[in-house]
Amino acid sequence: MVVDDSVVIRGMISRWIGAESDMQVTASFRTGLDAVNQLERVNPDVAVLDIEMPDLDGISALPQLLAKKRDLVIIMASTLTRRNAEISLKALSLGAADYIPKPESTREAGAAETFRHDLIQKIRHLGAKVRRRAAVVASPALIPAQDKAREVAPRPATAQQGLVRRPFGMLAPKVLLIGSSTGGPQALMALVAEIGPVIDRFPVLITQHMPPTFTTILAEHLARASRRPAHEAVDGETVKAGQIYLAPGGRHMRVARHGAEITIALDDGPPVNFCKPAVDPMFTSAIDVWQGGIMSVILTGMGSDGMRGGKDIVAAGGSVIAQDEATSVVWGMPGAAANAGICAAVLPLKEIGPKLNRLFAGDRS
């Protein structure tokens, strides 16, 4: 279901979706009020919901849509303004699955193509989770037993089958690196609220797949959630304990050592793993600085960003923790790391913070 007051945007998104063999548009509406009133009739799996609309805007329509259909996947769409970034992050806390920035002008071929690619991928990955759950409810006999267990009763991390675990690195960690994407903002805010003792004594660097402006707002939210200083990283600034450094939207964040000083190095290079900022550049650059004293965490997100950098961290003597499938919005990034056999632990989100506190306090198991 496409909900946007722009006939151009509605038509464009509908054409893109219609061109995909595995999805279709059930309806398109001009206002949030129309979407709420017609939801039960059209019964979509996914809704692309504009923020600014007449009669009933997106943020007001969101809770009404979820009240009528709890498992509806809602992707908020908005232009890149500070106000819309704030609203999009608020929408995540109210139950939206994800957000996507709309290009300022659909006439720019590159911007429109990036928007199309990102939107289709989000619909496909987020929608697939809903369809699997629906299949379990509708025809349990058609679903393999192991898939039933995963969908109906999420398993604890210790019961996930076939995942190779490796021991935590022997060196005491000197830094915490975190990578995340889809579902990341809410996961990050929950995590930083639990790891105050780590932040106080060690630097924390975060790369979240996010555009400019959105990262500015996210940094402010992380500061409030952690009650610790958090900001978008600045090129050339010194990395210190007690600070959270967030990669700014549109730039990769790396680290470099200059004598006894460790500094942030931002660059405007091409996307890595289709992302900018990307997690892998942060991970790999940290090895030259901290060698085996790296603790890295890969949270919920689409794709496999962080897996290659995580391999390098483990090879250097560091450690990787991944969020488990049951608590991830999308088990792409953490799943890639887990399935690559590089993780020392695969944990539910609520267990990652306490585990980090113990590890940074000296626990090596």
Annotated catalytic residues are 181, 209, 305
Cα–Cα distance measured from residue 284 to residue 217, given in angstroms and rounded to the nearest whole number: 26
| Residue found under tokens 């996961």 | 187
Is residue 41 a contact partner of residue 61, using CB atoms and an 8 Å limit? no
How is the chain split among helix, strand and coil, in percent rounded to 5? 45, 20, 40
Other CB atoms within 10 A of residue 262 CB: 18
Roughly how many angstroms between the first and final C-alpha of the chain, as a whole number? 48
As separate numbers, helices (DSSP H) first and strands (DSSP E) second, the chain gives 13, 14
> Could you give the count of Cα atoms lying within 13 Å of 186 in the half-sphere of its Cβ?
22
The single-letter code of the amino acid at 72 is: L
Give DSSP secondary structure letters for 56-82.
Answer: S-HHHHHHHHHHH-TT-EEEEEEES-H
> Could you give the count of Cα atoms lying within 13 Å of 187 in the half-sphere of its Cβ?
32
Q: Which of 29, 28, 30 is nearest to 5 (CA)?
A: 30
Q: What are the tokens at 171?
A: 């060196």
| Residue found under tokens 């009739």 | 41
Give me the residues paired with residue 28 across strands: 2
Q: Which of 176, 201, 319, 320 is nearest to 255 (CA)?
A: 176
| Residue found under tokens 């999308």 | 330
